Each structure stands twice: as structure tokens, then as C-alpha cells.
Structure 1
Amino acid sequence: MSKTVVVSNVTKKFKMYKKPAEKLLDIILPKGYGEDFYAIQNISFEADQGDVIGIVGVNGSGKSTLSNLISGIIPPTSGTIELNGEVSLIAIASGLNNELTGRENIELKCLMLGFSKQDIKKLEPEIIEFADIGKFIDQPVKKYSSGMKSRLGFAISVTVDPDILVIDEALSVGDQTFADKCLDKMNEFKERGKTIFFISHSMGQVKKFCEKILWLEYGEVRDYGPMKEVLPKYQAFLKEYKAMTKEEKKRFKEQVQLKQSGKATPKKELQPTAEEK
């Protein structure tokens, strides 16, 4: 089975500034300026053709950063990402221009993906039918609800038929009927041997759709493997965290902040994590 995605020792560092002037200081000062923030730290994994991988982790663990790295929207600070095939990212409003209508966005996004105007004319009816947003297709996207933006973005991305599909919380908005429609389409892609990354806080959707789990914990890979093995560990981890005292949660958060600022904290000191309640 051929490798479609190979991520090797990838790190993504951002700079955090308290005010705009600090960005200029970062450019002109020899040692730079601003606080380092490591959203992703030295991660490695591989995906095969036909893999359906759920990316899980609490808020701030780097899931969306990883989706943007795989999709080529942002480059890694260090490390390499090898892709075998065309990639399409589906996220709420991803790549949509708020000033353009839905129909104009279809043309713009497809042109950016290399389709000719003749090809776009053939694809447009299928995209519009799948999005199912009625007369809003000819209204500016800034008038859309988040659910409508997600519908249009999903419709464009699946209709252009990518080899690698990255879905970042795109099914978290809108109605269940559309979510089921999207899952049906993704199952069709799965049967055709496409590689799919699925980011969702809905464990029900992850269990229903994914075969592997990539568990991120504050920028690092905590575990990666079959869904039936990794997901129960993640869910048990969340349960442990919820049982922590307020002081234990505070101490852990301080450790995480040190870790993501690039000041290494021994992994054995870390406690189970989950999003703050």
C-alpha cells in the first residue's frame, strides 16, 4: 500500500506579540523579539492510501495547525511533509471570499485549483446541488450563516475530487441531515481508496467514520494507531483530567505553557489533559 502523507520531524513555531510594534522589533533586532509559541513540536507519522484518520486532542493541541500544514496553507518551521496527490481542506469558510457570491466563490476556488472555465461550468451544477443553499448561492458569502459557509466549502472540496481530504470541524455546524450527507460522501471516498483526515470533537462521528486515530497533546503525538486501540485511551485520559482538583489543573496548565514556549518540561511530569471546563 502506497504512502500518501509522510510527516517527518515537523515543528511549527509562531511568534506572539502584545502590540503591533513588537512585530517590527522582531524583524530588525538581531535576536528577534516576541514570545515563541510552538503549536506543533517535532511530530512524525505516515498515512497510507485509503487511511481514514481521526485527529483528536483537546483545544490548543495543534489539530488545526496540523490540518493547515498538511494542506500547504502554512509551511513548517522545520521538518518535511511529503504528499502523494492533490490535497483539499474543508473547514468553515476555508478559502471563501466574503465579498463574493457563492457562485463567484465556486469559480474562484476552482480556478485556483487549476480547473478551466469549461470544466468549472460542468462542475458548478453538481456543487450547487450538493451545497443546497437555495437562492443564497447568488448572495455575498458575508450574508451566510456558518452552516451555509460550511455547506458551500464542503460541496466545492468534495466535487473537485481530491486525493487527500482534510476535514477540520466542518461538520460541527449545520443540521444532522447535511452531516449524514457529508458522511455518505466521505464513505464513498473511503471506498475509492482516498486518504482522509477527520478533525472533530464529536466522538460519535469519529467512531462511526475513522479507522485510525492520531492523538495530539499540546503539539506532540501522544499516540497513533487503530481507532479501537487509541480512542479508548484518549477517552480514559479525559476522564482522569476531569477528576483533577482545581490546583492540579492549574499546575498542569503552567507546565503546558512552559512546554509550548519552547522551554522543555520532562514528559513524565505531565498529567492527563482535556479542555478546561
Structure 2
Amino acid sequence: MAEVTNFDDMLRREPGRGGDGPAPRHMSGQAPGAGGDAPDRPADSAPAGSAPAQSGPSARRPVVVVDDLHVKYKVYSSGKAAGAAANRKLFTRTRGLREVHAVRGVSFTAYENESIGIIGSNGSGKSTLMRTIVGLTPPASGAVYASSRPNLLGVGAALIPDLSGDKNITLGGLALGYTRKEVEALREEIVSFAELEDFIDLPMKTYSSGMSARLKFAIAASKQHEILIVDEALAVGDARFRQRSEARIREIRENAGTVFLVSHSMKSILDTCNRVIWINKGVLEMDGDPATVVRAYKESKK
């Protein structure tokens, strides 16, 4: 992941805007007017790899550019193949491995003030794509450019189970770049948002998954992020906490932040996002208006 602070450099790399960026991708694999039938998609959806149209140059400040991204990794085969591979590893270190092409040529540009829902079936490449944007997973080819370092909030975000929730607030705040004085100023607000007043001095290993998720979200959401990625964090917790979390995501977006929300909850996506990207088997299947993309995704499941 390359951090790009020059606005003109971001525009030059933006897919479909000239310079080194690739041409916009279309769901049919060819540009409109290139011959053949028009691709089948709803009229109010955007071509894959492009953002919904916005008016005015100031409304389209790019903050993340994903440019023809491919991500591959190797895993051991499962089932009978895994057993055979275990036997064969006495003779070779390479047999029994298979390559997974998790992200396949994905290109899009994310803009300031957007809340982008990322949807798709299990194993479609959503989380791999987000981890690559953050810089945790290296791409096989292509590139990610960002105006600042993205922050990832997921249910697997690392805090220390043996420490109390209170001490984890300090560690989490320092990891976000706060000073100790700033952490102290925010501590009460974080504890209140997480609804952990009676449990904040207990070790986190005694927390339920919902309590841990609330604390992780409260710590991350205490900061105004330019780029925040929320991976399934809203799936844990009661309906009231999800509503408060969604409201906080909208607040971050409205204050010139950009939020990616990875979720299987179409209600959370529709309530929170103003743009949706559908990833299908590693490919950007559709990108556009939330209601349109979610409807197409649901239809594909029938």
C-alpha cells in the first residue's frame, strides 16, 4: 500500500482518469459502444470499477485508489488431499499446496465523505481485499494508493486478553496515535459508548464476544479517521449498539472521512452506506447505488 499525499498524484493514478491508471472496467468486459449488446444491469447502477457520479470537482476528492489489484496465496488442500499432502511432505515441501487467487483485477476509487459497503458470499475475497488496502496482505500485482494510512477495525483486532478493559483503552488509544493525556480525556466517553462501566476493570478474557467487540469499536471510533475499515464488527452486539455504531460511522463520514463496511447484514449496509461494492469470487461484480446493488446480490442468491 502506497501512501500518496499529493492530490494531483492521486488523480493521475485514479482508474479511468488518464495518466497511468487503467480504463474503467465494465461488467461485460468491454466498454459501452465497443460493439455487441449492452451489459445487463439496472440503469441506475454504476459500471464495475467506477463510483456513482457526483457533481462538482470538490465532491470527488479521491482518498483510496485500487488499481488492477490481484492477491494470491497458497493453502494446503483440505479433506483427503490434505492427508495425502501430509504423507508426501516427507519427500517435498511443495506438494499438497494449492494457490488461491483471492482478488482478481479489482479497480475502484473511493472518495471523501463516502461510506462504502462491501458485500459478497463467504470466501468471495472481501476481507482479503480490505486487508490488502490496509497493507496487511501483499498484492501479487496491481497497487493500492491512499491519501493516509487506512485503519482496520475487525472483530479480530488485537487487544490483550489478560489486561483489563481499562488498560486496553490506553494501549488502543496509543496505537491510534493519541497521547496519554488525550487517552485520559476520552476514556470516560469510550467506556460509556461501549456500555462497560461495571466491567471495565475486569480482564478482557472474561468478556463475552459482544463486550469485546463493543470496546474495540468504541476505541477505534473515538478517533476521526480519514479512512476507516470496519470488517464485520457490527455483526456482534445487540440491535441498540448496532444502531449507535452505524450512527457513529455516518458521523465519521460526514466529517470528511471515508468508511468501508464489510458485512453480511444487508440492513446495516442499507442503513449506513451511500455506495456498495459487490465482490464475487474475487471479481468486482457491481459498484453503485446501495439499493440497486443489494437487490442484484439478493437476486443472484435465488
* More helix as a share of residues: 1
Residues 212, 176 of structure 1: alpha-carbon distance in 2 compared, 3 angstrom cutoff:
same
Structure 1: segments with no counterpart, 5+ residues: 240-277
CA distance in 1, matches of 2:134, 2:248: 20
> What letter matches 1:91 in structure 2?
G
Give the corresponding residue for 2:177. 114
Quote the Cα distance in structure 2 between the aligned partners of 1:72 and 1:157: 18
1:229 aligns with 2:288: no
SS at match of 1:166: strand
Give the 3-state SS of the residue equivalent to 2:200 in structure 1.
helix
User: Could you say what secondary structure the match of 1:13 adopts?
Assistant: strand
> Residue 6 of structure 1 is aligned with which of 65, 69, 80?
65
- Say if 1:7 and 1:46, in contact at 8 Å, map to a contact too: yes
Amino acid at match of 2:227: I
Q: Does the 8 Å CA contact 1:93/1:146 hold for their aligned counterparts?
A: no
1:65 counterpart residue number: 128
Runs of at least 4 residues off by over 4 Å? 18-22
Deviation at residue 95 of structure 1 after TM alignment: 2.0
Aligned to 1:148: 211
2:143 equivalent to 1:80:
yes
Question: 1:7 is paired with a residue of what secondary structure?
Answer: strand
CA distance in 2, matches of 1:191, 1:73: 27
SS at the partner of 1:138?
coil
- 8 Å contact from structure 1 (residues 25, 33) kept in 2: no
Partners in 2 of 1:157 and 1:131 — Cα distance?
11
How far is 1:20 from its partner? Answer: 11
Q: Is the 8 A contact 1:146 1:173 kept in 2?
A: yes
**1:154 alignment partner AA:** F
SS at match of 2:224: coil
Q: Are residues 1:135 and 2:198 paired?
A: yes
Equivalent residue letter for 2:75? M
TM normalised by structure 2 equals 0.72
Please give the root-mean-square deviation of Cα atoms over the aligned residues, in Å: 2.3
For 1:141 and 1:76, locate their aligned partners in 2 and report how far apart those are by CA, in whole Å: 34
Rounded Cα–Cα distance in structure 1 between residues aligned with 2:192 and 2:233: 18
Q: Following TM superposition, by how much is the alpha carbon of 1:131 offset from its aligned partner in structure 2, in angstroms? A: 1.0
Give 3-state SS (helix, strand or coil) of 1:134's partner. coil
Instruction: Give yes or no for the alignment of 1:169 onto 2:232.
Output: yes
- The number of residue pairs the alignment matches comes to 235
Q: 1:175 to 1:104 in 2, by over 3 A?
A: same
Unaligned runs of 5+ in 2: 1-59, 77-81
Aligned to 2:100: 37
Q: Distance in 2 between matches of 1:122 and 1:214?
A: 37
TM-score normalised to the size of structure 1?
A: 0.78
The percent of aligned pairs where both chains have the same amino acid is: 35
Q: Is the 8 A contact 1:93 1:153 kept in 2?
A: no
Structure 2 residue 262 is the aligned partner of structure 1 residue 199:
yes
Map Cα deviations across residues 180-237 of structure 1 (whole Å, 9 max, x no partner): 1111111212222211111111111211221111100011111112223322211111
Q: Specify the code of the residue in structure 1 equivalent to 2:65.
A: V
Q: What SS class does the counterpart of residue 85 from structure 1 fall into?
A: coil
- Given that residues 127 and 159 in structure 1 are in contact (C-alpha distance below 8 angstroms), is that contact kept between their aligned partners in structure 2? yes
Deviation string 1:28-61 (CA, Å, 9 cap, x unpaired) is: x7xx972111221221111010111111111110
- Please tell me whether residue 46 in structure 1 is matched to residue 109 in structure 2: yes
Q: Give, as a single letter, the amino acid of the residue that structure 2 aligns with 1:106.
A: I
